[in-house]
Amino acid sequence: MLNKQPPSPLPLPPEQIDKLIGIETGTGFWVTDPVVVSVNGNEFIYLDSLTDEYWESIYQHEELRNDQCESKFVRLFEKNAGDIVICMKASSVGEWCPGPIGYYAQSSSGIIWSYKKELPCIIGTLPIVLLIGTFILIVAFIVSITNNKQKRVKDIEPAYR
């Protein structure tokens, strides 16, 4: 399911970008933060929170994801950004539903572009639906056994009188 919004360029970091090196996903729900290295060798991460978005210099980062984008996303970026040098994706963690997949591409002009693909929530709610269905079946089975047991006791009682 593609979003209606096209990919958008991120603000430029404090130093000229050499390359996109990966995506950090381990800092919270719905987080996919791209990490770049500058031409001076410094690393920067683009922190994207609910209240603020900015580049921050980092000296150490979590393990980075660098899965390659599918060709349809490369074409989507090329349509908006021109030639693409590299394109990476990473899934984020959701709370009740899966988080979006973050796609980041570096254009030949050195600009980092961003695109988020929302995933349907049914995937996240399916286990809950199955759990509730199983619970209902167990309750129905227990009620059925209890009713059968009471019926057999009533059928046996007259024989003992």
pLDDT, greater one: 127 or 47: 47
Rounded CA-CA distance 86/158 in Å is 84
Domain contains 23 = yes
- Mean pLDDT lowest among 31-40, 48-57, 103-112: 48-57
Which is nearest to 38 in space by CA: 113, 115, 104, 106?
A: 106
Rounded CA-CA distance 41/88 in Å is 20
Which pLDDT belongs to residue 152?
62
Q: What is the domain count for the chain? A: 2
Tokens of 98: 């899966």
Which pLDDT belongs to residue 66?
87
Domain contains 75 = yes
Residues 24 and 78 in one domain: yes
* Residue 29, domain extent: 8-117
- pLDDT > 70? residue 125: no
Domain contains 63 = yes
Domain contains 59 = yes
pLDDT tens for 63-87 read 898 899 999 999 999 999 999 999 9
Residues 113 and 141 in one domain: no
Beta bridge partners of 148: none
Domain contains 95 = yes
Domain contains 1 = no
20, 3 contact by CB (below 8 A): no
